[in-house]
Amino acid sequence: MTKAGDNKKRRSGQAIIFFIMAMVILAFVVLSNYDLHRILYVKSLSENAGDSAAIAAARWQGITLNLIGDLNLMHAVALSVNNTNKANEVTAIQARLCYVGPMIGFMAAQQAAKQNRMYNNDEFYNIVKSHASVVAGYAEPGPDGQMLFQEPYLGCWKEYAAMLSLIAADGIAAGPDNASLYTDYSGSHILLDMGFYNAVASSDWCWFHNNEPTLLQDYENFFPCWWPPLPPLPKIQYINSEYFGLGLSKQTTTLFQGGYSDFNTMSGLALERLGSNLKNTNLDSSATWYCYDTGKWTAWQAFSPTNANPFPAVGTVKQQYNYAGADAVVRIEAEQISLLTPDQGGSKSQRTVVWTAAAKPFGYLNASDTPQSQKLVLPAFHDVRLIPIDASSAPSGGSFNLAWQEHIENHLPVYMADGPAACDKQFHTCRYCQQLVTWENTAFRRSGIEWLSENSWQCTESVGGGGGGGGSGGTSTGH
Give pTM, 2 decimals.
0.79
State how far the Cα of 350 lies from the Cα of 330, in Å rounded to an integer.
23
Task: State the DSSP string of 397-409.
Answer: T-SS-HHHHHIII
Nearest to 352 by CA among 118, 116, 117, 39: 39
State how far the Cα of 338 lies from the Cα of 335, in Å rounded to an integer.
9
What's the pLDDT at 211? Answer: 87
pLDDT tens digits, 304-359:
777 666 677 777 777 778 899 999 999 998 765 555 565 555 455 556 778 999 99
Close Cβ partners of 128 (under 8 Å, ≥ 6 residues apart): 164, 167, 168, 172
N-to-C CA span, the chain = 72
**Neighbour-count burial of 245, counting CB atoms closer than 10 A to its CB (0-12 exposed, 13-18 middle, 19+ buried):** buried
Nearest to 401 by CA among 240, 175, 182: 175
Tens digit of pLDDT at every position of the chain (479 positions): 555 556 655 556 667 777 777 777 776 666 666 666 666 676 888 899 999 999 999 999 999 999 999 999 999 999 988 888 999 999 999 999 999 999 999 999 999 999 998 989 998 999 999 999 999 998 888 777 788 888 999 999 999 999 999 999 999 999 999 998 888 887 788 999 888 999 999 999 999 998 899 999 999 889 888 999 988 877 778 999 999 999 999 999 888 877 888 888 888 899 989 888 888 888 888 899 999 998 899 888 887 777 666 677 777 777 778 899 999 999 998 765 555 565 555 455 556 778 999 999 999 887 778 888 889 999 999 999 999 988 898 887 777 787 888 888 889 999 999 999 888 888 888 999 999 999 999 999 999 999 999 988 888 654 433 333 333 323 334 34
Q: What is the DSSP letter of 166?
A: H
Query: Side-chain half-sphere of 334: how many Cα atoms within 13 Å?
Result: 24
